[in-house]
Amino acid sequence: MENLFNSFHSNKYITKKSITELRCGIPVLLYNSNNNLLIFPSELVDHPLLSTLKKHFKDINILVTGNRLNFIFQSSGNQLSRIKIKESHDLEYISSLLIGQEFHNREYFAIDNLIISTNPLDKTAISLIKLAKLLPSAIAIDISSSNILEWCTKNNITPIKQEIIDNYNEEYEIQEVCSSPLFLKDCPNAQINVYRSHTGELEHYAIIIGNPDYNNPIIRIHSSCYTGDLLNSLSCDCRCQLHTAIKLMIENKGGIILYLAQDGRGIGLANKIRTYQLQIKHNFDTVDANRFFGFEDDERVFIPAIKILQKLGISRLQLLTNNPNKISEIQNNGIQITKILPIFVDTNQHNINYINTKAKRLGHVC
């Protein structure tokens, strides 16, 4: 049955299907040769589901990342852990683990309920939840079955091998969907190429400005920013960086902007808006706001940019960036950077802390 299943459900299809189902509030099952783990996004749990789970399963856990636990317990050094759900625990308890800001009664989180994760599927579960752009926490239930694929078929659950998610970046592929001339305000001679991955995520774009030298073009890898690029928010420098890059490329006869669908440094727009509330109402910086919800400081991966560069036949480039992570990832994937061009923008009272945080805590050149 496993061979039949794997021949029918390719890795590409099963990854896309599992992400879609999680976003729709449908559980999926992760498995390897030793363990089976039923997972469900913690933020989508409601009263009927919680009641059903308690009725059918004895041991129900919530996976909580180390970064989130650091805020819950106001101490550093925590690791990905399981917190066992007791009969008395309700949605308010689960919500407090995800987004609660004050913990007046520390005994509420009894130490005997928390166990550092030792199951490798737990880490994979968090990775899969992040791919779905949901808060990085999951309801996790160990499933014992001699034939897990048969169990999944009987219960209408999608099974997914751990290695499929663990090897996500290595097996990531994109294809060009379409392209068209693009008439920009300051550059009527432009073109846009649209690229789509196999996972069903939002499309990425290559915006070709003028007539770049493909042997050594100016490249800007720009992560999408709905609030900045489109709404002209003053809270970040994204729109200014984007338009400064376009202007510089026009002045140098051409360049290419790789516009990646990675809003909020890879956490997604909804989660970015969650962090905005902390930044505005509670004076968090962008790093601590990410960590508060359990994310890493920067969740982006630049493999889509690498794949687009390969599609365009570019192996040498001048990189327009202030971000050392972009530099190292480009170089680690065999592409030569002939020149690094920092990009400087104006500051204002709303984005000065944001820019200072990038410099002081993320190592950006600002």
pLDDT tens-digit readout, 146-175: 899 999 999 999 999 999 999 998 889 999
Question: If you count them, how many residues does the chain have?
Answer: 366
Give the Cβ contact number of residue 63 at 10 Å.
27
Question: What is the pLDDT, as a whole number, of residue 117?
Answer: 97
Q: Would you call 290 helix, strand, or coil by DSSP?
A: helix
229 is catalytic: no
- State the catalytic residue, choosing from 68, 82, 291, 300: 300
Judged against a pLDDT cut of 50, whether residue 350 lies above it is answered with yes
**Is residue 300 annotated as part of the catalytic site, yes or no?**
yes
**For residue 102, is pLDDT > 60?**
no
Average pLDDT over residues 5-16: 69
pLDDT interval class at 104 (50, 70, 90): very low
Sign of torsion, CA 202 16 308 219?
positive
Stretch 214-225: mean pLDDT: 98
pLDDT at site 88: 85
pLDDT digits (tens, 9 = 90+) for 277-316: 999 999 999 999 999 999 999 999 999 999 999 999 999 9
CA 54/CA 125 separation, integer angstroms = 20
Query: Nearest Cα to 17, choosing from 122, 128, 170?
Result: 128
% pLDDT > 90, the chain: 76
Of 90, 298, 316, 346, which one is the catalytic site residue? 298
Query: pLDDT tens for residues 118-144?
Result: 999 999 999 999 999 999 999 999 999
Number of Cβ atoms within 10 Å of the Cβ of 303: 18
Residue 256 has pLDDT above 80, yes or no: yes
Q: What is the pLDDT of residue 155?
A: 94
Q: What is the dihedral of CA 149, 152, 158, 164, to 10 degrees?
A: -30
Among all chains, which residue has been given the structure tokens 């992760």? Answer: 30
Most confident by average pLDDT, 106-115, 212-221, 344-353 = 212-221
Q: How far is CA 58 from CA 2, 88, 94, 140, in A?
A: 28, 13, 17, 12
Backbone angles phi, psi at 231, to 5 degrees: -95, -5
Measured distance between the N- and C-terminal CA atoms of the chain, rounded to whole angstroms: 56
Q: Is 169 or 249 the better-scoring residue by pLDDT?
A: 249
Predicted confidence at residue 84, as pLDDT, reads: 93
Give all domains of the chain, ordered by start, each with its CATH number.
Answer: 1-167 (3.90.870.10), 174-262+300-362 (3.40.50.10990)
Instruction: Determine what percent of the chain is predicted with pLDDT higher than 70.
Output: 94
